[in-house]
């Protein structure tokens, strides 16, 4: 007979049903990784805390898993006998003890929260924590978020924004890659859109001049003054009328929040065809006075178009 075979059979025989039952008892399958449990703070140590979660052995909360930020005094965060929820991050060891985390539970809840905000198009307040060539980093409910330079309203001096708070909306929320991308411009545009209406007179600064029209920045957003809406008289060269950086007044004639488009007009503000070419300063100075007449002209124009 093979000695190895005999030894193997002997080992199997020595592991009785009683031994198997005891092994099962040592492992409580009620507590699994990823499970949220409620526990009571039982004992505090320099490296963490022991938590009573109703298992055979107290669970352990390592100091580094106690909060999102560094904890100086664990007793202030976790007073003895206090009850709260914890996340199991490591299943039972040989002593039947599981490892808990408050930090990862907070992260889980925060991801759930920002995902909901992203889905509903919410605008939130964040604090700028740093900057680089590509944009700025921000604190999003204790997590790190990023705003690309192109989505920052005042993007010329990013360093000056560090420490400031700003309103932002979400561009991308990727839990698997731990990626949060936000936009200050989109949030500003959304807030500004809610305050705009057709027929309203705005004052803004020309940011660029194209062959087809002029882009005007106002209240953190941009509107387009199409070449056909500049004057009642035909204009063939916008650079002869406007210059970049020039402040002008115009009337809103169309709003499309879904596509982020604002259409402007100055032709309805003219007292006569071509006034914007002949006497632009006079025309801009009397823009508000002519607003009611301009709105009536716009209304009549829309009736003709329909």
Burial class of residue 124, CB neighbours in 10 A (0-12, 13-18, 19+): middle
Domain final residue, candidates 168, 189, 210: 189
Residue 90 lies in a domain: yes
Domain final residue, candidates 166, 189, 212: 189
Residue 244 lies in a domain: yes
Task: For residue 249, give the nearest of 266, 263, 231, 226 by alpha carbon.
Answer: 266
Q: Rounded CA gap, 86 and 103, in Å?
A: 9
Range of the domain at 159: 121-189
Do 214 and 295 reside in the same domain of the chain? yes
Prediction pTM value: 0.55
Do 142 and 214 reside in the same domain of the chain? no
**What CATH number should be reported for the domain holding residue 164?**
2.40.50.140
From first to last of the 306 residues of the chain, give the pLDDT tens digit: 444 444 444 444 455 666 555 555 555 557 889 899 999 999 999 999 999 999 888 999 999 999 877 888 898 899 999 999 999 999 888 888 999 999 999 998 999 999 999 998 888 999 999 999 999 999 998 889 999 999 998 888 899 999 999 989 999 999 999 999 999 988 877 777 778 888 999 999 999 999 999 999 887 778 999 999 999 999 999 999 999 999 999 999 998 876 668 999 999 999 899 999 999 999 999 888 888 887 887 777 766 565
DSSP annotation of 241 reads T
Count of domains observed in the chain: 3
Residue 79 lies in a domain: yes
Domain final residue, candidates 157, 189, 221: 189
Do 96 and 60 reside in the same domain of the chain? yes
Residue 113 lies in a domain: no
């Amino acid at each position: 007979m093979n000695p190895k075979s005999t030894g193997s059979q002997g080992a199997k025989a020595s592991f009785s049903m009683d031994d198997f039952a005891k092994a099962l008892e040592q492992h409580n399958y009620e507590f699994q990784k990823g499970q949220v449990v409620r526990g009571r703070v039982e004992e505090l140590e320099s490296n963490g805390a022991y938590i009573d979660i109703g298992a055979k052995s107290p669970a352990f909360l390592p100091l580094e898993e106690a909060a999102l930020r560094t904890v100086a005094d664990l007793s202030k965060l976790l007073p003895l006998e206090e009850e709260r929820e914890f996340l199991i991050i490591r299943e039972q060891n040989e002593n039947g003890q599981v490892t808990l985390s408050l930090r990862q539970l907070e992260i889980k809840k925060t991801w759930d929260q920002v995902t909901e905000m992203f889905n509903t198009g919410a605008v939130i307040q964040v604090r700028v924590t740093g900057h680089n060539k590509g944009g700025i980093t921000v604190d999003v409910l204790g997590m790190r978020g990023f705003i690309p330079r192109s989505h920052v309203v005042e993007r010329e001096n990013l360093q000056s924004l560090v420490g400031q708070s700003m309103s932002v909306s979400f561009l991308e929320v990727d839990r698997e890659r731990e990626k949060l991308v936000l936009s200050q411009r989109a949030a500003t545009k959304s807030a500004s859109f809610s305050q705009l209406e057709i027929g309203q007179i705005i004052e803004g600064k020309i940011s660029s001049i194209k062959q087809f029209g002029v882009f005007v920045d106002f209240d953190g957003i941009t509107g387009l003054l199409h070449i056909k809406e500049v004057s009642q008289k035909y204009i063939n060269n916008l650079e002869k009328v406007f210059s970049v950086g020039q402040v002008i007044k115009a009337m809103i004639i169309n709003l499309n929040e879904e596509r982020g488009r604002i259409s402007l007009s100055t032709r309805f503000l003219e007292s006569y065809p071509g006034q914007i070419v002949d006497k632009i300063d006079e025309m801009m100075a009397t823009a508000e006075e002519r607003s009611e007449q301009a709105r009536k002209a716009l209304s009549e124009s829309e009736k003709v178009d329909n």
